[in-house]
Chains A and B, each alone.
Chain A
Amino acid sequence: MARHRILIVEDSPTMRQLLVFALKRLKDVEIIEAQDGMDGLRKVSSDHFDLALVDINMPVMDGLKLISLIRGEDNLKDMPIIVITTEGAREDRERALALGANEYLTKPIQANKVLRVAQGLLKAE
Chain B
Amino acid sequence: MSEKRDGLFARAEEVLSVFRRGAEFTQELLKENERLRRAVAEYQTQQLAASDEHAWEKLRCELIGRIQSLEGERDDMLERLRQIEGENRHFAERYLEIEEENNNLASLYVASYQLHSTLDLSEVVQIVVEIVINLVGAEIFAIYILDERTQVLSPVASEGRELGEFLPCALGQGMIGAAVATGETQTGDAAGPDDVERPLVCVPLRVQERPIGAIAIHKLLQQKDGFSALDHELFTLLGGHAATAVFAARLYSQSERKLNTIQGFIDLLTK
A65-108 interface bits toward B, Cβ cutoff 8 Å, 1 = contact, 0 = none: 00000000000000000000010110000000000000000111
Q: Nearest chain-B residue to A17 (Cβ)?
A: B110
Tell me which residues across on chain B come within 8 A of A108, comparing CB atoms.
Answer: 107, 134-137, 221, 224
Tell me which residues across on chain A come within 8 A of B224, comparing CB atoms.
Answer: 88, 108
> Taking the nearest CB of chain B, how far is it from the CB of A17, in angstroms?
5
Stretch of A7-15, A36-44, A45-53, A117-125 on the interface side: A7-15
Tell me which residues across on chain A come within 8 A of B70, comparing CB atoms.
Answer: none
Tell me which residues across on chain B come within 8 A of A106, comparing CB atoms.
Answer: 221, 223
Q: Which residues 88-140 in B have Cβ within 8 Å of A in the complex?
A: 99-100, 102-103, 106-107, 109-111, 113-114, 127, 130-131, 133-137, 139
Tell me which residues across on chain B come within 8 A of A111, comparing CB atoms.
Answer: 102-103, 106-107
Count of B interface residues, CB-CB < 8 Å: 24
Indicate if B2 sits at the interface (CB-CB under 8 A): no
Tell me which residues across on chain A come within 8 A of B223, comparing CB atoms.
Answer: 88, 106
- Inter-subunit contact B110/A107 (CB<8 Å): no
Most B CB within 10 A of own CB, among A12, A17, A106, A108: A108
Tell me which residues across on chain B come within 8 A of A12, comparing CB atoms.
Answer: 130, 133-134
- Inter-subunit contact A107/B137 (CB<8 Å): yes
B135-157 interface bits toward A, Cβ cutoff 8 Å, 1 = contact, 0 = none: 11101000000000000000000
- Inter-subunit contact B139/A86 (CB<8 Å): yes
Indicate if B222 sits at the interface (CB-CB under 8 A): yes
Interface size class of A (residues with CB under 8 A): 10 to 19
Complex CA gap A108/B110 in Å reads: 13
A18-47 interface bits toward B, Cβ cutoff 8 Å, 1 = contact, 0 = none: 100110000000000000000000000000
Complex CA gap A109/B223 in Å reads: 11
Residue of A17, A21, A86 near B221 (CB, 8 A) is A86
- Inter-subunit contact B106/A22 (CB<8 Å): yes
> Taking the nearest CB of chain B, how far is it from the CB of A1, in angstroms?
27
Residue of B109, B130, B222 near A13 (CB, 8 A) is B130
- Inter-subunit contact B114/A13 (CB<8 Å): yes
- Inter-subunit contact B222/A15 (CB<8 Å): no
Tell me which residues across on chain A come within 8 A of B113, comparing CB atoms.
Answer: 17
Complex CA gap A106/B222 in Å reads: 10
> Taking the nearest CB of chain B, how far is it from the CB of A48, in angstroms?
28
Q: Nearest chain-A residue to B139 (Cβ)?
A: A86
Q: Nearest chain-B residue to A22 (Cβ)?
A: B106
Q: Nearest chain-B residue to A24 (Cβ)?
A: B106
Q: Nearest chain-B residue to A16 (Cβ)?
A: B110
Q: Nearest chain-B residue to A14 (Cβ)?
A: B130
- Shortest 6 CB-CB contacts between residues of A and residues of B: A88-B223, A108-B137, A14-B130, A106-B223, A111-B103, A18-B110
Q: List 29 A-B contacts (CB under 8 A).
A: A12-B130, A12-B133, A13-B127, A13-B130, A14-B110, A14-B127, A14-B135, A17-B113, A17-B114, A18-B107, A18-B134, A18-B135, A21-B109, A86-B133, A86-B134, A86-B137, A86-B221, A88-B221, A88-B222, A89-B222, A107-B133, A107-B137, A108-B107, A109-B134, A110-B103, A111-B106, A112-B99, A112-B102, A112-B103
